[in-house]
Amino acid sequence: MAERLGELGFYTLAGAPESPRELIEEVAQAEALGLGTVFLSERFDLKEAATITGALGAVSTDLRIITAATNHNTRHPMVTASHATTMHRLTGGRYVLGIGRGIGPLFDAYGIPKITTAQMEDFAGVMRRLWHGEMIFNHDGPIGSYPVLRLNPDFDEDIELSLVAFGPNSLALGGRAFDHVVLHTFFTDETLQRCVATVKGAAEQAGRNPDDVTVWSCYATVGDHLSEALRLRKTVGRLATYLQGYGDLLVDTNGWDPVVLDRFRADAVVGSFLSAVDGTATDGQLEHIATLLPEEWLAPAATGSATACAAAVRGQMALGADAVIMHGATPTELTPIVEAYRAGTA
């Protein structure tokens, strides 16, 4: 087994997998390759977080496992706290519970209350208290009112917390109350640097050592050893999907031209999709959508040869990220890039 690269991670079951069993082979390949962390994004279909993380814990031996993310408001806090302690013991301390704000319009459609920054901060505090054996009476805070919250009073579990963060309030929360902060894909270099500064500055203001908070760049990594059609789906298709869900936020965060976003939304092909572009578009539709997106919007990604991709990944850390999620690619697809990364750091 290759030496573990703690600064590199990947998402298992990226996109819309046909079966969650695909994670078994992905984990084996990732550990053989020496990747450090496997991430999971929860979706309301085949990627329920508690089930998948349990499977990840059972079939892995070295990988750190991070949910990026689940949501605190879809389960009772006692259920989530118990999930985390179970995973902590199952994996020998390799599990990190990661939460995020979620997608507001989707929550509205499902009748799930939207998540606030105050709720995520309250949740983090409650989890840490429960994991250290405290019995909480009459909690009345942003996450709700609970007469009693308790786990085993003998527990004294140091379980890390992660936050998927986008805006300045979430980034600052990550710095003061979480152990890992996961950024979004297709952030420009300037956005990455600003986000890292926000997280680290908030940690310092809270009296924490900024180095104790790991900031993960989530970086689309799509080498030219993949077919052209697959590269198009992993870049154009993926960015188009994000623009569908929260285009205003991504455009505003990166300082991109909102007029371009308006043209994208007004396009007849884009408007014809009832679900995610990257999961349902034909190659021809993706080629058309590519004409709607400026090169600068697709530029924040590792593309080209394996050596070029590896250099781009290292470049994210040179810009201030502590670690990099090589997003949108399986361990098999990442193999030549990781080999080039090792060669470049030898």
User: Pick from 163, 293, 256, 282: which is nearest to 218 by CA?
Assistant: 163
Alpha helices in the chain, H assignment, sequence order? 22-33, 49-59, 77-91, 104-110, 117-131, 168-177, 189-205, 228-232, 238-254, 258-266, 268-271, 277-280, 283-290, 295-298, 306-318, 331-345
104-116 per-position pLDDT tens digit: 888 998 999 999 9
Residue 210 has pLDDT above 90, yes or no: yes
State the burial class of residue 207 (Cβ atoms within 10 Å of its Cβ: 0-12, 13-18, 19+): exposed
Residues 218-228, mean pLDDT to the nearest whole number: 98
Residue 163 has pLDDT above 80, yes or no: yes
In whole angstroms, give the CA distance from residue 310 to residue 312: 5
Give the pLDDT confidence score for residue 106 in this predicted structure.
Answer: 83
In whole angstroms, give the CA distance from residue 294 to residue 54: 41
Please, are residues 216 and 171 in contact by the beta-carbon 8 Å criterion?
Answer: no
107-155 per-position pLDDT tens digit: 998 999 999 999 999 999 999 999 999 999 999 999 999 999 999 999 9
DSSP-assigned letter for residue 320? T
Secondary structure class of 161 (helix, strand, coil): strand
Distances (CA, A) of 34 to 93, 206, 338, 342: 18, 34, 9, 10
Q: What angle do CA 191, 192, 198 make, to 5 degrees?
A: 90
Give the pLDDT confidence score for residue 346 in this predicted structure.
Answer: 47
How many Cα neighbours within 13 Å face the side chain of 189? 11
In whole angstroms, give the CA distance from residue 288 to residue 193: 32
How many Cα neighbours within 13 Å face the side chain of 221? 34
Q: What is the pTM of this model?
A: 0.97
Give the pLDDT confidence score for residue 345 in this predicted structure.
Answer: 67
* pLDDT more than 70, % of the chain: 99
Q: Which amino acid is at 37?
A: T
Domains in the chain: ranges and CATH: 5-221+304-330 (3.20.20.30)
DSSP-assigned letter for residue 74? G
254-307 per-position pLDDT tens digit: 999 999 999 999 999 999 999 889 989 999 999 999 999 999 999 999 999 999
